[in-house]
Amino acid sequence: MRKRTVLRLAAGTAAIGGATLAYASLIERNMFTLRRYDVPVLAADAEPLRVLHLSDLHMTPGQRRKQEWVASLAATDPDLVVVTGDNLADPEAVPGVLRALQPLLNYPGAFVFGSNDYRGPVWKNPFSYFFPDREYVQGVELPTEDLREVLVGAGWADLNNARTSIKAGGRTVELIGVDDPHIGRDDYPSVTGLVSPDVDLSIALTHSPDPQLLDEMAADGFDLLLAGHTHGGQVRVPFVGALVTNCDLPRSMARGLHRWPSSDAWLHVSAGLGTHPTAPVRFACPPEASLLTLIPR
């Protein structure tokens, strides 16, 4: 009798596990969600300004549903579009990324790249994310420069270790960014400096939200810090949240809007729109884009 009970429990556990995996891989990872946040960073008499934040598309050629959903975000009529990296997941993915972004290229925009914009994904043990000192392995070279050429050609600011000012929503916005710290391509010392007092708003971009880098950006006076990379944890446990962030950022900040400690800056970390192709699951963490409405302090 006891053996029969154990077998029933094992069968039930396996069934629940199978159903959870099916949900995470077939349903939730395609439940694209637009999150909305109000961010108090503008002067007292300023009109609101809308920033659409996209990250971690990890696009493959056949992901038409994702491409169409991202393209539909043009209906939000943003004042500024910001992309914080990891757009590619296949050597043939550039046309798919452009199909997604094409309607948004009509708006002012800025971007930085992530590691997966340079080299393709390789299979890895998902549990390796719990070991921060693991060897980092990447695959085939990706057409990074093809993607860069199109985005810059559309007028978007390339902020990979760069700094500039643009007009968006009738305001002057100072922008700064770095190439991906996760693979050591960042060079913040080459662009660092206090925010100009003559601008209406300042925004800093990075793919990986490295805390030391965010401290430096906040110390320079940037109002809003934008990042991706974490996937929000990708698999979150109810009442616990993200189990990993794949960087030194605290798990409590794996996604969403947070006040950066000991500063006046706000940090927004996007949970992103894709997954690593060898781990195409999301649980309690649907793919997302965010519309940040910047409002007076």
The pair of three-digit structure tokens given for residue 233, joined into one six-digit string: 């944890």
- 181 pLDDT exceeds 50? yes
Residue 5 lies in a domain: no
More confident residue, 96 or 277: 96
Amino acid sitting at position 71? A
Residue 147 lies in a domain: yes
- Segments forming the whole domain that contains residue 271: 31-296
Whether the CB-CB separation of 229 and 85 falls below 8 Å is answered with yes
pLDDT of residue 122: 74
Give me the mean pLDDT over the 148-159 stretch.
98
List the CATH number of the domain containing 238: 3.60.21.10
More confident residue, 175 or 27: 175
- Tokens 């601008």, residue? 199
pLDDT of residue 20: 59
Q: Quote the CA–CA distance of 171 and 214 in Å, as a whole number.
A: 24
Tell me the pLDDT band of 196, cut-offs 50, 70 and 90. very high
- 5 pLDDT exceeds 70? no
Residue 18 lies in a domain: no
List pLDDT tens digits, range 109-143.
999 999 999 998 876 666 555 566 666 667 899 99
pLDDT > 90: what percent of the chain? 79
Residue 2 lies in a domain: no
- 211 pLDDT exceeds 90? yes
- 164 pLDDT exceeds 90? yes
- 10 pLDDT exceeds 60? no
- Give 293's strand partners: 38, 50
Residues ≥6 apart with Cβ < 8 Å to 3: none
Domains held by the chain: number: 1
Residue 35 lies in a domain: yes
- 236 pLDDT exceeds 70? yes
Residue 183 lies in a domain: yes
Tell me the pLDDT band of 24, cut-offs 50, 70 and 90. low
Amino acid sitting at position 120? G
List pLDDT tens digits, range 240-296.
999 999 999 999 999 999 999 999 999 999 999 999 887 789 999 999 999 999 999
- 166 pLDDT exceeds 80? yes
Q: Quote the CA–CA distance of 163 and 192 in Å, as a whole number.
A: 9
pLDDT of residue 134: 61
Residue 6 lies in a domain: no
Whether the CB-CB separation of 224 and 174 falls below 8 Å is answered with no
pLDDT of residue 191: 98
Residue 8 lies in a domain: no
| Strand pairing class (256-259; 266-269) | antiparallel
pLDDT of residue 278: 78
